[in-house]
Amino acid sequence: MPILNDAKSYGALTKFFHWVIVGLFAFQYAAGYTMTSLGSQDSALGFTQGNYYNWHKSIGLIALGFAFFRLLNRHYNRLPKWAPNLTKSEKRMMHYYENALYLAMFLMPVSGFVYVMAGGYGVHFLEITHLPNPIGKLSQLATIAKWTHILSSFAILIALAAHMSVVLRHQLVLKNGLVWRMLPARARSPVPTPLPAGDKAQ
């Protein structure tokens, strides 16, 4: 598998960033749900609520770093051509959803960082070191950042659901192997199938 993208397929670097981001954000949603469900004296899987909060904040900053490098990779590493079995409307939808995902991918961790700093909670990074607070305690800013964080988390879920609806339709209904384009090891190439009547590919 080539490191960089080529005209027909995604390279190893793009796939790496894609799946690392998926894994980090999946952890964030799981940790976020767990930490808000636990009581202050409760624990789950050997971790207290405080542990989950610390790891949620730490992984959020790591995810922000990966998102930054993923964006750089997208800018300097040319994208392959669209899959031949996507319709014009699907391409347009995927483009909008991807832009929404990128925006929320940055907005959610940044707003989370602003919230915990302006709220005076701080970040005990990886439970190793306390990060300095460059903002100071500002209650109004903390409230705005908190709701931005919450709304952007829902935006990611909506955009991801829309994105996956297209992928799963091709994979499970049309059975043309679209998902193989982004898997770490491509066992086979997607098989182009006839497009729906009245909709032509670009």
Give the domain 12-182 fold. Fumarate Reductase Cytochrome B subunit (1.20.950)
Rounded Cα distance between 52 and 43, Å, is 9
**Class of residue 197 by CB neighbours under 10 A (exposed 0-12, middle 13-18, buried 19+):** exposed
DSSP H helical ranges for the chain:
12-37, 49-76, 88-118, 139-168
Taking only the tens place, the pLDDT of each residue in 173-192 is 988 888 888 887 654 444 44
pTM here? 0.84
Taking only the tens place, the pLDDT of each residue in 89-121 is 999 988 898 898 899 899 999 999 999 999 999
- Could you state, in order of their start, the residue ranges of all structural domains in the chain? 12-182
User: In this structure, what token pair is assigned to residue 163?
Assistant: 């994105």
Q: What is the pLDDT of residue 185?
A: 66
